[in-house]
Amino acid sequence: MSLDDMSSLVRSIIPLGTSRANVQRIFVAEGRATLKAKAGDSSVEKYIYDIDLCHYYIWRWNISADYDASNLLRQAYVNGNIVFPNGNPKKDISKVAEEGKKASIYRMQRPRPGAYKGEISLVFLLFDRDSDTKTTNDQTLIGAGPSRADPMNMGKLITYTDVDPWRSIFDFDAADRIVPYQGDCAKVDGLMKVQIKAQKR
Protein backbone atom coordinates (compact mmCIF):
# COMPACT_ATOMS: atom_id res chain seq x y z
CA MET A 1 0.00 0.00 0.00
CA SER A 2 2.86 2.42 0.74
CA LEU A 3 6.31 3.19 -0.61
CA ASP A 4 7.90 1.76 2.52
CA ASP A 5 5.78 -1.38 2.20
CA MET A 6 6.92 -1.94 -1.37
CA SER A 7 10.60 -1.39 -0.54
CA SER A 8 10.31 -3.92 2.29
CA LEU A 9 8.54 -6.38 0.00
CA VAL A 10 11.22 -6.05 -2.68
CA ARG A 11 13.96 -6.67 -0.11
CA SER A 12 12.21 -9.81 1.10
CA ILE A 13 11.29 -11.44 -2.23
CA ILE A 14 14.27 -10.53 -4.44
CA PRO A 15 17.39 -10.22 -2.26
CA LEU A 16 20.68 -9.23 -3.85
CA GLY A 17 21.97 -12.09 -5.99
CA THR A 18 18.52 -13.12 -7.27
CA SER A 19 18.61 -14.18 -10.92
CA ARG A 20 17.07 -11.95 -13.57
CA ALA A 21 14.80 -14.85 -14.58
CA ASN A 22 13.35 -15.07 -11.07
CA VAL A 23 12.83 -11.30 -10.83
CA GLN A 24 10.99 -11.33 -14.15
CA ARG A 25 8.90 -14.31 -13.04
CA ILE A 26 7.80 -12.50 -9.87
CA PHE A 27 7.05 -9.09 -11.34
CA VAL A 28 6.10 -9.84 -14.94
CA ALA A 29 4.75 -13.41 -15.18
CA GLU A 30 3.04 -13.37 -11.78
CA GLY A 31 2.61 -9.64 -11.05
CA ARG A 32 1.71 -8.73 -14.65
CA ALA A 33 3.91 -5.65 -14.68
CA THR A 34 5.16 -4.23 -17.98
CA LEU A 35 8.81 -5.03 -18.68
CA LYS A 36 10.98 -2.27 -20.17
CA ALA A 37 14.69 -2.61 -20.94
CA LYS A 38 16.90 0.46 -20.68
CA ALA A 39 18.05 1.60 -24.10
CA GLY A 40 21.79 1.21 -24.50
CA ASP A 41 22.26 -0.76 -21.27
CA SER A 42 21.22 -4.42 -21.28
CA SER A 43 22.08 -4.77 -17.58
CA VAL A 44 19.21 -2.52 -16.49
CA GLU A 45 15.46 -3.05 -16.77
CA LYS A 46 12.26 -1.98 -15.04
CA TYR A 47 8.83 -3.34 -14.23
CA ILE A 48 6.02 -0.77 -14.28
CA TYR A 49 2.53 -1.20 -12.90
CA ASP A 50 -0.15 1.51 -13.03
CA ILE A 51 -3.26 1.69 -10.85
CA ASP A 52 -6.23 3.99 -11.50
CA LEU A 53 -7.25 5.33 -8.09
CA CYS A 54 -10.90 6.04 -9.00
CA HIS A 55 -9.85 8.62 -11.63
CA TYR A 56 -8.32 10.92 -9.00
CA TYR A 57 -4.74 9.76 -9.45
CA ILE A 58 -2.87 7.24 -11.57
CA TRP A 59 -0.45 5.52 -9.21
CA ARG A 60 2.72 4.07 -10.70
CA TRP A 61 4.97 1.41 -9.25
CA ASN A 62 8.28 1.69 -11.09
CA ILE A 63 10.54 -1.09 -9.85
CA SER A 64 13.88 -1.13 -11.64
CA ALA A 65 16.82 -3.48 -11.35
CA ASP A 66 20.55 -3.52 -12.09
CA TYR A 67 22.19 -6.84 -12.99
CA ASP A 68 25.80 -7.98 -13.30
CA ALA A 69 27.38 -9.94 -16.15
CA SER A 70 25.93 -13.16 -14.69
CA ASN A 71 22.40 -11.70 -14.66
CA LEU A 72 22.31 -11.54 -10.86
CA LEU A 73 20.61 -8.65 -9.07
CA ARG A 74 23.01 -6.00 -7.79
CA GLN A 75 20.57 -3.17 -6.97
CA ALA A 76 16.84 -2.46 -7.07
CA TYR A 77 14.89 0.80 -6.99
CA VAL A 78 11.31 1.64 -6.03
CA ASN A 79 10.12 4.73 -7.90
CA GLY A 80 13.74 5.85 -8.28
CA ASN A 81 14.90 5.33 -4.71
CA ILE A 82 17.49 2.68 -3.82
CA VAL A 83 16.26 -0.45 -2.04
CA PHE A 84 19.54 -2.07 -0.93
CA PRO A 85 22.02 0.17 0.95
CA ASN A 86 24.72 -2.45 0.40
CA GLY A 87 24.02 -2.89 -3.31
CA ASN A 88 25.50 -1.04 -6.27
CA PRO A 89 25.64 2.71 -5.54
CA LYS A 90 23.28 5.12 -7.19
CA LYS A 91 24.72 6.86 -10.24
CA ASP A 92 25.81 10.39 -9.42
CA ILE A 93 24.94 13.00 -12.04
CA SER A 94 27.27 15.98 -11.92
CA LYS A 95 25.46 19.30 -11.66
CA VAL A 96 28.27 21.03 -13.54
CA ALA A 97 27.78 21.42 -17.29
CA GLU A 98 30.01 19.53 -19.67
CA GLU A 99 32.87 21.55 -21.09
CA GLY A 100 31.70 23.62 -24.03
CA LYS A 101 28.01 23.03 -23.19
CA LYS A 102 25.44 24.51 -20.86
CA ALA A 103 23.15 22.78 -18.40
CA SER A 104 19.42 23.45 -18.24
CA ILE A 105 16.51 22.98 -15.88
CA TYR A 106 13.16 22.30 -17.52
CA ARG A 107 9.71 22.43 -15.95
CA MET A 108 7.92 19.42 -17.38
CA GLN A 109 4.62 17.59 -17.10
CA ARG A 110 3.77 13.92 -17.35
CA PRO A 111 0.15 13.76 -18.64
CA ARG A 112 -2.23 11.47 -16.76
CA PRO A 113 -5.58 12.10 -18.53
CA GLY A 114 -7.20 9.10 -16.84
CA ALA A 115 -7.18 11.04 -13.56
CA TYR A 116 -9.80 13.46 -14.86
CA LYS A 117 -11.32 13.95 -11.37
CA GLY A 118 -7.99 14.98 -9.85
CA GLU A 119 -4.38 15.22 -11.03
CA ILE A 120 -4.41 15.00 -14.81
CA SER A 121 -0.67 15.70 -14.98
CA LEU A 122 2.40 15.28 -12.79
CA VAL A 123 4.74 18.27 -12.69
CA PHE A 124 8.49 17.92 -12.16
CA LEU A 125 11.77 19.74 -12.70
CA LEU A 126 14.28 18.06 -15.00
CA PHE A 127 18.00 18.84 -14.80
CA ASP A 128 19.82 18.16 -18.06
CA ARG A 129 23.60 18.47 -17.96
CA ASP A 130 24.06 19.09 -21.69
CA SER A 131 20.64 20.68 -22.50
CA ASP A 132 19.94 17.88 -24.97
CA THR A 133 16.80 16.01 -23.88
CA LYS A 134 17.56 13.21 -26.34
CA THR A 135 20.58 12.15 -24.27
CA THR A 136 19.13 10.78 -21.05
CA ASN A 137 22.15 9.49 -19.12
CA ASP A 138 22.93 12.98 -17.80
CA GLN A 139 19.46 13.80 -16.45
CA THR A 140 17.97 13.86 -12.98
CA LEU A 141 14.72 15.24 -11.60
CA ILE A 142 12.90 16.64 -8.61
CA GLY A 143 9.20 15.98 -8.16
CA ALA A 144 6.59 15.04 -5.60
CA GLY A 145 3.86 12.49 -5.13
CA PRO A 146 1.74 10.77 -2.47
CA SER A 147 3.19 8.09 -0.21
CA ARG A 148 0.26 5.63 -0.35
CA ALA A 149 -1.63 3.91 -3.19
CA ASP A 150 -4.96 4.34 -1.41
CA PRO A 151 -7.48 6.99 -2.52
CA MET A 152 -9.09 6.90 0.94
CA ASN A 153 -5.76 7.81 2.52
CA MET A 154 -2.95 8.82 0.18
CA GLY A 155 -0.60 9.54 3.04
CA LYS A 156 1.76 12.48 2.92
CA LEU A 157 3.35 14.27 0.00
CA ILE A 158 6.90 13.10 -0.46
CA THR A 159 9.63 14.68 -2.55
CA TYR A 160 11.71 12.69 -5.00
CA THR A 161 15.14 14.30 -5.22
CA ASP A 162 17.97 13.58 -7.63
CA VAL A 163 16.08 10.69 -9.23
CA ASP A 164 16.73 9.09 -12.62
CA PRO A 165 13.67 10.03 -14.72
CA TRP A 166 13.54 6.57 -16.33
CA ARG A 167 13.20 4.94 -12.90
CA SER A 168 10.63 7.41 -11.59
CA ILE A 169 6.86 7.87 -11.43
CA PHE A 170 7.27 10.64 -13.99
CA ASP A 171 8.76 8.57 -16.82
CA PHE A 172 6.84 8.63 -20.10
CA ASP A 173 6.89 4.89 -20.82
CA ALA A 174 3.37 3.50 -20.99
CA ALA A 175 2.29 0.45 -19.02
CA ASP A 176 0.51 -2.24 -21.02
CA ARG A 177 -2.59 -1.67 -18.91
CA ILE A 178 -3.88 0.51 -16.10
CA VAL A 179 -5.41 -1.60 -13.34
CA PRO A 180 -8.59 -0.30 -11.67
CA TYR A 181 -8.63 0.30 -7.92
CA GLN A 182 -9.91 -2.80 -6.11
CA GLY A 183 -11.83 -0.87 -3.46
CA ASP A 184 -15.19 0.96 -3.54
CA CYS A 185 -14.93 4.09 -5.68
CA ALA A 186 -18.37 5.26 -4.48
CA LYS A 187 -16.91 5.60 -0.98
CA VAL A 188 -13.94 7.48 -2.42
CA ASP A 189 -16.27 9.90 -4.26
CA GLY A 190 -18.18 10.47 -1.03
CA LEU A 191 -14.97 11.23 0.86
CA MET A 192 -13.86 13.67 -1.83
CA LYS A 193 -17.19 15.53 -1.69
CA VAL A 194 -16.83 15.92 2.07
CA GLN A 195 -13.29 17.21 1.69
CA ILE A 196 -14.29 19.69 -1.03
CA LYS A 197 -17.13 21.04 1.15
CA ALA A 198 -14.76 21.44 4.08
CA GLN A 199 -12.31 23.40 1.92
CA LYS A 200 -15.04 25.81 0.80
CA ARG A 201 -16.02 26.73 4.36
Which of 60, 52, 43 is closest to 3 using CA atoms? 60
- pLDDT tens-digit series, residues 101-147: 899 999 999 999 999 999 999 999 999 999 988 889 899 999 999 99
Mean pLDDT of all residues belonging to the chain: 95
pLDDT at 119: 95
- pLDDT tens-digit series, residues 58-72: 999 999 999 999 999
Backbone angles phi, psi at 39, to 5 degrees: -60, 130
Cβ–Cβ < 8 Å for 97, 114: no
Apex 121 CA angle, 116 and 124, nearest 5: 165
pLDDT at 13: 98
10 Å Cβ neighbour count for 104? 14
Domain positions in the chain: 3-200
Cα–Cα distance measured from residue 46 to residue 48, given in angstroms and rounded to the nearest whole number: 6
- pLDDT tens-digit series, residues 166-198: 999 999 999 999 999 999 999 999 999 998 888
Contacts of 74 (CB under 8 A, 6+ apart): 16, 66, 67, 68, 87, 88
